Amino acid sequence: MSMRSLALGLVLMSANVPVVVADEGTHPLDVRDLVAMDRVGDPQLGADPRWLLFDVRSIDIAANKGTPGVWVLDRATPGVAPQRIAEGSQPRWSADGKSIFYLAKVGERMQIFRIAPAGGAALQVSDLPLDVEGFRVSPDGAHLAVALSVFTDCNGDIACTREKLNAREANKASGRVYDKLFVRHWDTWADGRRNHLFLLTLGADGKASGTPALLTRGIDGDVPSKPFGDDSEYVFSPDGRTLYFNARIARHDEPWSTNFDIYRVAIAGDAAPENLTPGNPAWDGYPLLSPDGGTLYYLAMRRPGFEADRFAIMALDLADGQRREIAPRWDRSAGALAISVDGRTLYTSADDAGQHPLFAVRVDNGEVTRLSGAGTVRGFAVGRDGEIVAAWQDFTHPINLYRLGAAESRIALTDFNAARLAKLRLVQAEFFTFKGWSQHTVEGYVMPPVDYVPGKKYPVAFLIHGGPQGAWTNEFHYRWNPQTYAAAGFAVVAVNFHGSTGYGQAFTDAISGDWGGKPLADLKLGWAAALKKFKFLDADRACALGASYGGYMVYWMAGKWNAPWKCFVDHDGVFDSRSMYYSTEELWFDEWEHRGPEYEHPQNYEKFNPLRHVKDWLVPMLVIHGGLDFRIPDTQGLAAFTALQRRGIPSEFLYFPDENHWVVKPANSILWHDTVLDWMKRWTAEE
């Protein structure tokens, strides 16, 4: 046992029995500990291997906000601590590695700044009348590709967009006419603007000069995509003369289409962007060029309308137009790509049996090698000298940065939150497998309560993940962290049922069209297997809780499998499958999952509709919903709460008018956890 583990006060698992290794000076994790932690991420390696660049979001609970910071680690002096050199976000290296570009506010507008890695005075690079949403630095250091939100009828004139916004703000009428979907998306109402890419030229003084030139001309779509697109969706060619980007054309069918394509456009001249993937009606995205510029690597799905299809790694020879899949036998869905300096190896991360490791993929033969061990990689960088730095986490470690070595080893480069962690008793989980639906092998994990005492039984938090094509993985999550339940005296059971990612595409596909079938069978069998294997679980004092699809499943279980449960917690769940179709925004999701539009296949939406089983609801339920949740609108939660109240079932409704499909504001996160744990303790208390 390492001194690090002793400091954490870990509770480990041995032969299905927890082993407590605790320091008397520690305490169980409270949500306030969780919320206060620094959020580390986005490592960047530049031309000079001396410097490691990354960002850290620091949380101020009293101010109820987070503040982004630009951080560097100077590795020329061993043992030196990382330094915060600016307040800002999205830090990126200049082409020569001698300075750092980043985003920071000037008044109310986000602009691009530049600073030396050693810190000092920052230079404001852009001075645009609009917010800069993101950017890329060209390899020759002469240009920036910047993302701006503009009115498309302004034809690339950003001053025109500013004038339109000013006029709208001055207009006392608040109404707006829409003639097509998306009317709203995720948590934002459409205002007529789209994300587009513009070219800024850098002068000798380091500042952007001249008029920004529209690069995505003629593209009626968002680049980067909404709501979560970033600079992984556009990239310069190695010579800096061409920009590659992905886009979904916003025809009338945009809300039910996943047809992204990859385009290229010369940064000089006025030629229209060229579509490089017109033959695939499904998703093509995340372009990456080989070091010699001759090959375009990208990710591609094959089934139109299915957002959780497997992302295959593709290679397009730009000289002869031939394309091939790099690793066709690797049954995992790849994430964003990076490439080695010699062009022989691609790097990507993917869900993999309850973990999310980093992988190396040989370009010539598709051989895949796992580079990181147990845990989850959320971002990585590959240096010009072959060094790999990963943002790594697991159940007992929030994200820090590590250098990856041979045989899945890692060396810590940062140690954020160390003082906080030294005061905590955290818990390790044990993954287990069982025979699920149709005798298929299914995986889950169990986490004991932090203050486990041998021979005692504990109430249980039975967690159900969302997606539905998602998974419970070995990570230190800031919204659904099992440590918060273990700290409150609960054991945790989580099952990666059919539909989960990381177990092969066929396993992921199995949930579509069968929301209340195979997954429910897996949850039942997983619960029984956990009770048999882990004797400290109290079957008579358990609550089930979940969000999104997990919330749907809670509503479904309330009518179809309510006997074992003392309470339910439902966050942003689907209560009525039919009305959900007409009120959500991304219609492709429901149309794939239910095999078509509701008006053509109403029976599919009714087959597993929780609303139809309200008469069988019995168990007390806490319902939670956000007012800015446009993915699963708040009327779903209100309707469920109405059903509970009308049935006379003990119930409460927690409503966040300022939260979307997630709860992210510090004060709201604290309220969420306090309310949920109080509800669970109330109904699982020993008589």
Task: State yes or no: pLDDT of 164 exceeds 60.
Answer: yes
Return the structure tokens found at 377: 């990689």
pLDDT for 9 equals: 66
* Dist. CA 379–CA 81, nearest whole Å: 21
**How high is the pLDDT of residue 19?**
63
Whether the per-residue pLDDT at 358 is higher than 80: the answer is: yes
Reported confidence tier of residue 21, pLDDT bands at 50, 70, 90: low
Question: Residue 258: is its pLDDT beyond 50?
Answer: yes
For 411-464, the pLDDT digits (tens) are 999 999 999 999 999 999 999 999 999 999 999 999 999 999 999 999 999 999
Over residues 593-612, the mean pLDDT reads 98
High-pLDDT (> 90) share of the chain, %: 95
- Cβ-Cβ contacts under 8 Å for 95 (sequence gap 6 or more): 47, 137, 138, 139, 140, 141
pLDDT one-digit tens code per residue, 91-149: 999 999 999 999 999 999 999 999 999 999 999 999 999 999 999 999 999 999 999 99
pTM to 2 decimal places? 0.96
Query: How far does the chain reach from its first CA to its final CA, in angstroms?
Result: 39
Structure tokens at 220: 């009626």
pLDDT above 70 for 259: yes
DSSP assignment of 140-151 equals TSSEEEEEEEEE
Mean predicted confidence (pLDDT) in 23-36: 91
Q: What is the pLDDT of residues 553-595, one digit of tens each?
A: 999 999 999 999 999 999 999 999 999 999 999 999 999 999 9
Q: Are 498 and 437 in contact (CB under 8 A)?
A: yes
Output the pLDDT for position 16. Answer: 79
Name the band, by pLDDT with cuts 50, 70 and 90, for residue 18. Answer: confident
Residues 547-557: what's their mean pLDDT? 98
For the record, the structure tokens of 234 come out as 């556009």
The confidence score (pLDDT) of residue 5 equals: 47
What is the chain's mean pLDDT, rounded? 96
Looking at the chain, the whole-number percentage of residues with pLDDT higher than 70 is: 97
pLDDT of residue 676: 98
Core vs surface per residue 322-359: b (16+ CB within 10 A) or e: ebeebbeebebbbbbbbbbeeeebbbbbbbbbbbbbbb
The angle formed by the CA atoms of residues 76, 77 and 79, to the nearest 5 degrees, is 130
**What residues does each domain of the chain span?**
38-124, 421-684
Q: Cα(540)–Cα(441) distance, rounded to whole angstroms?
A: 26
Q: What angle do CA 604, 605, 608 make, to 5 degrees?
A: 90
CATH architecture of the region 421-684: 3-Layer(aba) Sandwich (3.40)
If you average pLDDT over residues 30-34, what whole number do you get? 97
* Residue 4 binned pLDDT confidence (cut-offs 50, 70, 90): very low
Could you write out the three-class secondary structure of 281-334?
CCCEEEEEECCCCCEEEEEECCCCCCCCCCCEEEEEECCCCCEEECCCCCCCCC
With bands split at pLDDT 50, 70 and 90, how would you rate the model's confidence at 23?
low
Phi, psi of 600 (to 5 degrees): -95, -30
User: What secondary structure letter does DSSP report for 271?
Assistant: P
**13 — pLDDT class (breaks 50, 70, 90):** confident
What secondary structure, in 3-state letters, does 579-641 show?
HHHHHCCCHHHHHHHCCCCCCCCHHHHHHCCHHHHHHHCCCCEEEEEECCCCCCCHHHHHHHH
Give the pLDDT band of residue 78 (cuts 50, 70, 90): confident
Tell me the residue type at 510: A
Q: Which two tokens stand for residue 145?
A: 């590709």
What amino acid is encoded at 1 in this protein? M
